[in-house]
Amino acid sequence: MSAEDLKRLAAWRAADLVSDGMFLGLGTGSTAAHFVARIGEKVRNGLRVICVPTSEQTRLQAEREGIPLVTLDDVPELDLTVDGADELDSQLRLIKGGGGALLREKIVAAASRRMIVIADGSKRVETLGAFPLPVEVVSFGLGATLKAIEKVVDRIGITASPSVRRTATGETFLTDGGHYIIDIPCGRIDSPEVLATELSTIPGVVEHGLFIGLACGAVLAGTQGIYELGSIGA
């Protein structure tokens, strides 16, 4: 199977967890897009759900699918969020933000009773960090914020050169909230909780891509089929 086939398998399994009347968070990214498409199909076949998208990209797809949407101002507590991940470990600690939606993704996940991760099996790792860690920052004082991030990673023993994310045309990448993203090529993060705490103390940092204590389960699709981590059911 191709990587897309594996992502679709994981997404469809997660869609089976959605029941009538749920308030649902819709994730962002290539795997989450398969989930949104499947939910759209179910909605057209009579499923009743109310959804909150985690990005403008997801909002546009959900609207095309005919999925009813609200904001967290309308519905501040959700039953379930299903989203992808750039990396996850056996403790369901995640790195997210490769698509640039980490702030909204974390807000929606935190507002949910459950968060389920969907991914192809290659995203599961023994130790987080091979995927560069995204950090969302405000534009004001960018140089000072970048310097502070460099000091943090150096202090906890990570050799990395954080850099501002650019688009394919060389422009500064902007999130849906109008912020910048700094990517940290950590290589290996031995203490994700420590790094998360340290990054959160830096003025100018809006949010980081370490999702710790948010996911309760994961549906992964490997070459041998679907397998699950953590708690998938209600």
Q: What is the pLDDT of residues 191-206, one digit of tens each?
A: 999 999 999 999 999 9
Tokens of 14: 């997660």
Return d(Cα 125, Cα 129) in angstroms, integer.
Answer: 9
Residue-level pLDDT at 234: 63
Residue-level pLDDT at 129: 97
Contact at 8 Å (CB) between 104 and 168?
A: no
186 CB-contact burial (10 Å; exposed 0-12 / middle 13-18 / buried 19+): buried
Residue-level pLDDT at 153: 96
Contact at 8 Å (CB) between 65 and 37?
A: yes
Q: Which residues of the chain have pLDDT under 70?
A: 234
User: Is 228 in the active site?
Assistant: no
| Given the residues 65, 105, 136, 198, the one annotated as active site | 105
Contact at 8 Å (CB) between 162 and 146?
A: yes
